[in-house]
Amino acid sequence: MFSSRHPETLKGLVDELGPLARVGTVAEAVEFGDVVMVVVPYTAMEQIGRDYGNALANKVLVIDVSNPIERRDGAEIVKWVDDHGGAGLATAKYLGPHVVRAFNAIGYAKLSTDAHRQGELVGVPIAGDDAHAIDIASSLIREIGFDPVVIGGLAMGKYLVPGTPLGGEHRRPKSGRS
Ligand SMILES: NC(=O)c1ccc[n+]([C@@H]2O[C@H](COP(=O)([O-])OP(=O)(O)OC[C@H]3O[C@@H](n4cnc5c(N)ncnc54)[C@H](OP(=O)(O)O)[C@@H]3O)[C@@H](O)[C@H]2O)c1
């Protein structure tokens, strides 16, 4: 289920994806999914936490793709996030303990060509505190043709922001170490 506060705008996208794809409101998507992916400007996080934080805390996995970016979201929110341990720990304050940060620094336009790449898969660094949530995230990421690389707990989530060393695309080191 793809959601928007204006679900009618997603009809064209979902029609192209086939019969299993559906459109819903944000509330319907939160209700529908065992796994919920949150891909919003970081300024929306507080309101989403207020409205859906309890429901999201009960999901097995909440994938946080969102980043606090000063030029878009403002200096105040970036400072708030920094003061709360960075994106990751800050997101978990709003969305609960099953947050895993993933896909934060791969541009959306590259996902379809990067997926299932021949040879070495594209690595997706992920960070989370909940082992079960990490396991589910890892298997979903493998299923869609990427190589999940756990870099640590949510405190490491702040390094999964564009412009930090783990932003952009990476391959697993030749030794196979992650
Ligand atoms: N674009 C990329 O390639 C990319 C890559 C990696 C990470 N990210 C991160 O992903 C996040 C979204 O980026 P984007 O480029 O997709 O930005 P965007 O187009 O501005 O935002 C995505 C969607 O968020 C929804 N949204 C905004 N406020 C909301 C709220 N209060 N409740 C529910 N939904 C809300 C909007 O949907 P409606 O208005 O339809 O409700 C909007 O279409 C950012 O934090 C960004 O840093 C983006």
113-138: pLDDT as tens digits: 999 999 999 999 999 999 999 999 99
Q: How far is the CA of 54 from the centre of ligand 1 (A)?
A: 21
Report the sign of the C-alpha dihedral through residues 63, 69, 75, 79, in that order.
positive
Diameter of the chain by CA atoms? 48
Q: Hey, whose CA ends up nearest to atom 28 of ligand 1?
A: 44
pLDDT tens across the length of the chain (178 residues): 999 999 999 999 999 999 999 999 999 999 999 999 999 999 999 999 999 999 999 999 999 999 999 999 999 999 999 999 999 999 999 999 999 999 998 999 999 999 999 999 999 999 999 999 999 999 999 999 999 999 999 999 999 998 887 777 777 666 655 4
Nearest residue by C-alpha to atom 22 in ligand 1: 40
Residue type (1 letter), 133: A
C-alpha 127/C-alpha 99 separation (Å) is 9
| CA–CA separation, 141 and 155 (whole Å) | 21
Give the integer Cα–Cα distance in Å for 27 and 39: 15
Structure tokens at 57: 């805390």
Rounded to two decimals, what is the model's pTM?
0.94
Nearest atom within ligand 1 for CA of residue 42: 45
* Centre of ligand 1 from the C-alpha of residue 101, in Å: 15
Is 55 near ligand 1, meaning CB less than 6 Å away?
no
CA 166, CA 124: separation in Å to the nearest integer? 9
Whether ligand 1 lies within 6 angstroms of the CB of 26 is answered as yes
Ligand 1 centre to CA of 32 (Å) is: 20
* Backbone angles phi and psi of 65, in degrees to 5: -95, -10
Judge contact between 61 and 22, C-beta under 8 A: no
**CA 140 to CA 145: how far, in whole Å?**
9
